[in-house]
Amino acid sequence: MVGPSGKMIRSRLLTLGRSLGKTTARQFSTTGSKLGGHGGKWFYREEAIADKGYFLAADIAGGFMWWWIFWHLFTDFGHIVGHHEFPDVSKWTDQELGIPPDSED
């Protein structure tokens, strides 16, 4: 029959064995974890929950982009359609176009 000291020794050995088993266990993979963002969590078939800051930054960047486009559309419209009227090339002469006369063969 085991006395109180035997139970105490056995429980300490079991606790020691459990703690040693936890600390000496090796990972199956040999490479380190390369998980980025979201606190190191990895999502396979779940939707990753983005922070509100990402949505705010995306809204600000998108708003700035559309402001830039529309501001330059209204203020620098000549960049899109051109600054002058295009010449009518049907009124140009053969000499202006660099076409030799028909008499030269």
Highest mean pLDDT among 15-19, 28-32, 33-37, 51-55: 51-55
Confirm if 40 and 33 have CB atoms less than 8 A apart: yes
Sign of the Cα torsion 41, 45, 51, 55 reads positive
In the chain, where the domains are located: 52-78
Which string of DSSP letters, residue by residue, matches 37-82? SGGG---SSSPPPPPHHHHHHHHHHHHHHHHHHHHHHHH-THHHH-
pTM assigned to the model = 0.37
Q: Is the pLDDT of residue 8 over 60?
A: yes
Q: Is the pLDDT of residue 18 over 90?
A: no
Give the closest residue to 72 by CA, choosing from 80, 62, 84: 80
Find the farthest-apart pair of alpha carbons in the chain and give their distance in angstroms, rounded: 131
Q: Is the pLDDT of residue 27 over 60?
A: no
For 46-69, the pLDDT digits (tens) are: 777 778 999 999 999 999 999 999
Q: What is the CA radius of gyration of the chain?
A: 39
